Structure 1
Amino acid sequence: MMQNRSFFGSLPPITKNLIIINFLLWFATITLPRVGVDLVDLLGLHYFQSSKFNAVQLVTYMFMHDPNSISHVFFNMFSVFMFGRTLEAAWGSKRFLFYYITTGIGAGLVQEVFWYVLLHDQIAMVAANIGWEATQLQLNQLVTIGASGAVFGILLAFGMLFPNIPLYLMFIPVPIKAKYFVIGYGLIELFFGISGIQSSVAHFAHLGGMLFGLFLILYWKKKGIGNNGRFF
């Protein structure tokens, strides 16, 4: 007997639930401020010296997106849909979820290191001039949100597992092999991060997701863990 399956019903469970949860939380970020609850401020990743920092934010920040525009959450979840479902089918749900969360946490840690290197001396100087309490008010403004670090980890994994699959990109009529797409995207992020272009975007967090993804995949390869999801 043939069964009709809905769009979401055809998706593997982790991919499907990641998309649903991210959109539900995005909707919450635009509605809850009406009752005085700012989810971005509570669950977004703050600088570790900020009074608003909580270690749990290293996980929760990747489920927060810009409440002022749907494009942030849409494009991140579109990437999860396009590439995550293939990885989940290859690895299995538990291993895919472990990879997703690990690369997201790794991206957050890299962002914290970037902030520290960039701002440590400046923070010390400001604190000496105006006091630590006043400095805290400025530190509390530093916050990172979004699933992009985990998404870049997904892109890295897809490029390593399926390097020769052609990808057709918007405005580019010629297919690009996945491995070249990932390398090119990584180099662009590195350029943006070093140059300071698009300074409002956490480029080093994106690179952190790819870096932690690379370490994890190489570790699995060293341990002889294949692509059949038998990690757990």
Structure 2
Amino acid sequence: MGNLSIVTIVIIAANVIISYKGFNDFGFFEKYKFQVGPIQRGEQIRMFSSGFLHADTQHLLFNMVSLYFFADVVISNLSSIQFLLVYLGSLMVGSLLSFYFHKNEYHYSAVGASGAVSGVIYSAILLRPDMDLLLFIIPIPIPAYLFGIGYLLYSIYGMKNRIGNIGHDAHFGGAIGGYVITLLLSPWLFETNLLMIVLLALPIALLFALKKLGKI
């Protein structure tokens, strides 16, 4: 993991350039961030542009470092173009799920590549569920598929309890995007990793069940 391809460099550069423009230009930031009210008035570009803006340097750095570590897993198992489809598709699904959950909150706003990066992470886990991940908060390696399931379960918890100033729904939507797009691009996974496909789908099914029951 961690090799930089041209497409990854371009995505990171776009995030850095657009984010720093937003840091130094309040009008630009306000015009292109995700915000429910303006999107309902027809400014759908915000669904996309918000994925390249960040709240601060720490937010930007965290997302780009996460992308750096997982992008090559997706590229090496798919292709650069398909990786780009996963990234941009996950960004949009993350925004769509945020809009779905907050459509009645006129002033709700969000920024960040977290949805897109979550999609890349979930895609990488689907393609390589046998990977071991070493997290800062857990000093021992854990299987990638357990991390993926735990990540989405925590996102559900965060959405339900509004934990922190974090777009948990965008993270979850991005993961759904990465999951679905990767399966569409790699139908052979149904033969090789069917159990993992089912396991990784469980948190997604749980989210929509809770939404239907009015629990979230």
State yes or no: 1:23 paired with 2:16: yes
Q: Closer, same or farther in 2 for the Cα pair 1:218/1:86, shift >3 Å?
A: closer
State yes or no: 1:45 paired with 2:34: yes
Partners of 1:81 and 1:205 lie apart in 2 by 19
Query: What's the C-alpha RMSD, in Å, of the aligned pairs?
Result: 2.4
Amino acid of the structure 1 residue aligned with 2:113: A
Of the three residues 43, 55, 58, the one matched with 1:54 is 43
Residue 121 (structure 2) aligns with:
155
Residue 134 (structure 1) aligns with:
none
Q: Give yes or no for contact 2:39–2:46 (8 Å, CA) kept in 1.
A: no
Partners of 1:150 and 1:157 lie apart in 2 by 11
State yes or no: 1:96 paired with 2:83: yes
State yes or no: 1:142 paired with 2:108: yes
Partners of 2:134 and 2:39 lie apart in 1 by 43
Q: Closer, same or farther in 2 for the Cα pair 1:175/1:74, shift >3 Å?
A: same
Partners of 2:70 and 2:132 lie apart in 1 by 13
After superposition, the C-alpha distances for 1:97-146 in whole angstroms (9 at most, x for unaligned) are 11100010000000110012xx37xxxxxxxxxxxxxxxxxx3x432210
Residue 32 (structure 1) aligns with:
25
Deviation at 1:205, TM superposition (A): 1.3
Q: Closer, same or farther in 2 for the Cα pair 1:73/1:217, shift >3 Å?
A: same
Deviation at 1:52, TM superposition (A): 6.3
Residue 112 (structure 1) aligns with:
99
Q: Which has the higher contact order (CA 8 A, sep 6+)?
A: 1
State yes or no: 1:217 paired with 2:168: no
Deviation at 1:197, TM superposition (A): 2.0
Amino acid of the structure 2 residue aligned with 1:187: L
SS at match of 1:173: strand
SS at match of 2:155: helix
Residue 204 (structure 2) aligns with:
none
SS at match of 1:164: coil
Q: Give yes or no for contact 2:5–2:72 (8 Å, CA) kept in 1.
A: yes
State yes or no: 1:172 paired with 2:165: no
Query: Percent identity between the aligned chains?
Result: 25
Q: Give yes or no for contact 1:14–1:88 (8 Å, CA) kept in 2.
A: no
Partners of 1:225 and 1:96 lie apart in 2 by 19
Partners of 1:48 and 1:214 lie apart in 2 by 29
Residue 198 (structure 2) aligns with:
none
Runs (4 or more) in structure 1 with deviation over 6 Å come to 223-226
Partners of 1:53 and 1:41 lie apart in 2 by 15
Which TM-score applies when normalising by structure 2?
Answer: 0.80
Which TM-score applies when normalising by structure 1?
Answer: 0.75
Of the structure 1 ranges 45-54 and 16-25, higher mean CA displacement relative to structure 2 is found in 45-54
Unaligned runs of 5+ in 2: 192-216
Q: Give yes or no for contact 1:45–1:53 (8 Å, CA) kept in 2.
A: no
Amino acid of the structure 1 residue aligned with 2:153: L
Partners of 2:121 and 2:174 lie apart in 1 by 10
SS at match of 2:139: coil
